[in-house]
Amino acid sequence: MINGVLWRLRTGAPWRDLPERYGPWQTAYERFARWEADGTWARLLEQVQVRDDSVGAVEWTVSVDSTINRAHQHAAGARKKGATAGDELENPARASAGQALGRSRGGVTTKIHLACDGRGLPLAVVVTPGNVNDSTVFDTVMDELRVPRGGAGRPRRRPDAVIADKAYSSRAIRRVLRRRGIRAVIPERADQKANRLRRGKAGGRPPAFDRELYKARNVVERCFNRLKQFRAIATRFDKLAARYKAGVHLAALILWLREPAQDPLSDRT
């Protein structure tokens, strides 16, 4: 059954086209849907994060960014109620939140917002309509950033630094990071710089920016590329945003399982 779910994630094929060797498609779909509804996929991802963090393998210089994915025509028209396998798991509260589909010049799209560690492994995932501004979702992404301790203690929610591009350059975001004691590595936008210089001394000092550390931001781009190797992620076929996000969680879980949980200092002499 799990292999059937993975096959569908990799190929992006309709559930009804699941090869017979994986069993009835309804069984695979219903299991995937139930594990999404009860949070199993998210908990599995959390467990591998805990595994790596317990040995010091998670690199807490976090990169934040988003990517827009085209939604297939089958992704439109989600039911609020229905007898199709798995639809009974949907409830009005979730349905009212919308299905993370946005229309723009590129068509109907969904946006994945991601926070990944220094190795390019996903720590937090947020799904929104494709026409949502990145900076407005930053707080939500940071709220999703939560790795429980392997033993006693509160979950870790605060990275050492956050690297992001100019789309996240705002006083509000810098203020939030400063208040939480997190180093901001975000370049200043050209219009912000021009406005600051035009005001002279009243414009204040430029925000601190580490150019060398900013070069590490490409890990989040590489992470998106790896996630999009799964065709069901590169193109959204799921009608329900929660199901699509569960697919992202499963793809992220696979990336974590491929990475050995090793203390980066263990091989140093």
User: For residue range 22-81, what is the model confidence (pLDDT) as tens digits?
Assistant: 999 999 999 999 999 999 999 999 999 999 999 999 999 999 999 999 999 888 766 655
Residue 268 in domain = no
For residues 37 and 34, give the distance between their C-alpha atoms in angstroms, rounded to a whole number.
5
Q: Which domain holds residue 55?
A: 2-258
Q: Between vectors from CA 129 to CA 247 and to CA 17, what angle results, nearest 5°? A: 35
User: Does residue 269 lie in a domain region?
Assistant: no
SS3 72: coil
Residue 140: give its domain's CATH number: 3.30.420.10
Q: What's the pLDDT band for 85 if we cut at 50, 70, 90?
A: very low
Question: Of residues 46 and 88, which shows the higher confidence score?
Answer: 46
Residue 1 — pLDDT band, cuts 50, 70, 90? confident
Asked if the structure places residue 265 within a domain, the reply is no
- Whether 92 is covered by a domain: the verdict is yes
Q: Which residues is 104 bridged to in the sheet? A: 107
Task: Report the number of distinct structural domains present in the chain.
Answer: 1
pTM above 0.85, yes or no: yes
Higher local confidence (pLDDT), 106 or 8: 8
Q: Confirm whether 264 is domain-assigned.
A: no
pLDDT of residue 125: 98
In a domain, 188, yes or no: yes
- Give residues with Cβ within 8 angstroms of 105, minimum separation 6: none
Average predicted confidence (pLDDT) for the chain: 89
Residue 103, domain member (yes or no): yes
Q: How confident is the model at residue 90 (pLDDT cuts 50, 70, 90)?
A: very low
In a domain, 263, yes or no: no
